Amino acid sequence: MGCFHLLIHTAISTWGVDELEVAVKPAPRRRRNLHYFFKVEHVGDEPRRLTKLTLRNCPPAESLRHLRALTALVLHDLPKSTQTFVYDRLFTLGLPHLKKLHLKNCRCDSFVLVVSAPPSPATATAITELFVDSCSFLVIELRKAAALEDLACIDDAKPVLIQFTNAPRLTRVHLSFSASSGGGTVGDHAQYPPLIYPRRYNLSWHVRSEHMSSLAVRFTGPERWILPARITTRLLSLRRLLVADVLPTWDVSWPRLLLQAAPSLETLHIHVASQARRRTTSEDEEEHVEPGREIIWPPATFRHRRLQELVLAGFGRTLAQVRFVRYVVRACRVLRRVELLRRGGVRYDGPWEWEVVRQQQGGGGGGERHWSREEEAGIKKQILCGRSWFREDVEVVLG
């Protein structure tokens, strides 16, 4: 390994490499507990320094603190035998310029990732961007994350609980979780024996920050695993909300929980996924998956005084969708524009920024219309008219 360390040192301090990726081949099965730690010698004060480091199957050693100019660290495929302190010390190395930390498909001997940077500037690492993708953690605790501004957590196997203990600057959050059902529990509980998964999750376990202003959530799975229980924390700063890929098996009205908890919300974007299908015994045959049970909401006099825009992409004029839009139109007094897009999607610019993709209807040029004029008139009447109320000040745009 001496020649390997020398090569890395030469690349950083002499050649002026500013981005480095190190990939280590997995060890044979009989030696899975052995793995190489990335080490680096002191690189001096040369102006040409490493700013981005990517490690694959290669945990970083404490000597990483010598890379004083590092701004981004990406860890891939760390093995299950990686000890907890390897992740803990990422926030205590005292790297003054390290802002971005990405963990992808990483494993650990613990199910909790603790983000805890000490108050001392000499040892703290002021991470502003944390991206956790398909890792083994079940809980992310933001214990001392005073500098954190952007958080993204993506996992297509299980929900991850976020504990917003101390993250006063956190403004943008992206959560994308999927949970399969089986055996009376949610998630791959056999893979995580210490934790007994509940069948349903309270949304308060995932969004409990009063500081975030932008939130994108993508919660999927064959069955709705979010309980229709009121969020206990007021999301006072939330201005923009995206609820993406709502499956037809889920009641589209579940985002009411977020709307009622966010009094400052101004923009609500919802994307309904295409009709869910599942394979039958024949490889060439598919059948539609029936919608799940609708949520029975108790009567409420709730009113929202900030929401200005509602966009529902994937609008199919189902009874549940119509009821939800009617509810929003009636409850949100300053709402002036509603877009119902039969075809449409979401275009992402990184994990935290998005825009709704609008597919224009055919106009006078002879293009195909998404809705007939009779359908448009019927939809607008359904949305804007009730037994004891009428909203003539709301513009309903169908696309």
Closest residue by Cα to residue 227 from 165, 283, 179:
179
Asked whether residue 166 falls in the same domain as residue 244, the answer is no
pLDDT at 192: 46
Query: Are 160 and 21 contained in the same domain?
Result: yes
pLDDT digit string, tens, across residues 325-352: 999 999 999 999 999 999 889 999 999 9
**How many domains does the chain contain in total?**
2
H-assigned helices in 218-312: 256-261
Please indicate, yes or no, if residue 188 is contained in any of the structural domains: no
Residues 260 and 160 in one domain: no
pLDDT bracket for residue 225 (50, 70, 90): very high
Q: Which two tokens stand for residue 377?
A: 């008139």
In a domain, 9, yes or no: no
Residue 103 forms part of a structural domain: yes
Q: Is residue 57 part of a domain?
A: yes
The sign of the CA dihedral 368, 370, 371, 373 is negative
- For the cut 80, the answer to whether the pLDDT of residue 288 exceeds it is no
Q: Domain boundary at 141, 170, 199, which?
A: 170
Give the pTM. Answer: 0.88
Per-residue pLDDT tens digits for 3-61: 666 777 777 777 778 899 998 887 666 555 556 788 876 655 554 578 999 999 999 98
Instruction: Print the domain residue range for 157.
Output: 17-25+46-170
Task: Tell me if 129 sits within 8 A of 105, measured CB to CB.
Answer: no
What pLDDT was estimated at residue 273? 93
User: What pLDDT shows up at residue 271?
Assistant: 97
Asked if 117 and 251 sit in the same domain, the reply is no
| Residue 243, strand partner residues | 217, 270
b/e code 316-353 from CB counts within 10 Å (16+ = b): eeeebbbebbbbbbbbbeebeebbbbbebbbeeeebbe
